[in-house]
Structure 1
């Protein structure tokens, strides 16, 4: 069975950056995803199209097809008063922020006096990524998975 729209694929993967530093890996716990529903970065999903169980490959994904290019507009300096209830602000802290476009995650990149610089770019934005992938399973999706737009069960989403 080939990976195509509305099929659930299970993959083992190791993700590295351009320097070969490991960023993430499945480590024996295959990732299950529903193909064609935007559950993976576009470049990786495109590379998985048509693959079958046992296929192993390396995919180099350009930033534009991964987490996007870095956007300077997503870096802003705001007043400390925006972080009510947080006693000690430190570089590296992540927060959920409300904007006109809805909720998004930001990371504190600098704290200078009463000014805090936050970056709304994805931590992997602007990076070319390399995935070493092995397809370990492909199956039909259930009606519920297709309706929900993601895989359920081992390696996928769990509902409580």
Structure 2
């Protein structure tokens, strides 16, 4: 069986940046499961996996345009410190979920000033070239329910990324 639309694909991966630093890995977590053709994973990786089979190993380089997008400086904004009620310590690098125009978005604290906090609404991996080392471990047909919901169910879990 090869990877095509509406197949559930399980794969192990290690993600590194251009310097070779590991950003993310399935090591110790079990493989990632997704439904091919549903936009569950970034386009550059999904496109590279099409037509592959169980046991295939591949290295995929994904440009920002095919990954988490280019950085948008307009997504950097200052917020009054009192917007963080109940948070005792705010430090650079901390991440919060904030209500944005497109619903919930992840923001990262860039710097903390006297009475305001500078937030970055870009995805932490926006603007990065991503290198994936992938090993495909399983391919199966998605169930009708999985296709209806648009994500994988069952022992491979409800992996929402």
TM-score band, normalised by shorter chain? over 0.9
Residue 20 (str. 1) matches residue 39 (str. 2): no
Distance 2:109 2:146 in 1: 36
Higher mean Cα deviation, 95-104 or 59-68?
95-104
Shift of 1:39: 0.8
Residue 83 (str. 1) matches residue 76 (str. 2): no
In the superposition, the TM-score normalised over structure 2's length comes to 0.93
Contact 1:110–1:118 at 8 Å: present in 2 too? yes
Contact 1:91–1:108 at 8 Å: present in 2 too? yes
- Segments of 5+ residues of structure 1 without an aligned counterpart are none
Match of 2:142 in 1: 141
Distance 2:103 2:141 in 1: 34
Matches within 5 A, 1:50-61: 50-61=51-62
Match of 1:105 in 2: 106
Shift of 1:138: 0.5
CA deviation profile, 1:24-45 (whole Å, cap 9, x unmatched): 1111511111111111111000
Shift of 1:99: 2.7
CA deviation profile, 1:61-100 (whole Å, cap 9, x unmatched): 0011111111101100111121122222211221111233
In the superposition, the TM-score normalised over structure 1's length comes to 0.93
Distance 1:35 1:134 in 2: 15
**Number of aligned residues:** 158
Question: Residue 145 of structure 1 aligns to a residue in which SS?
Answer: helix
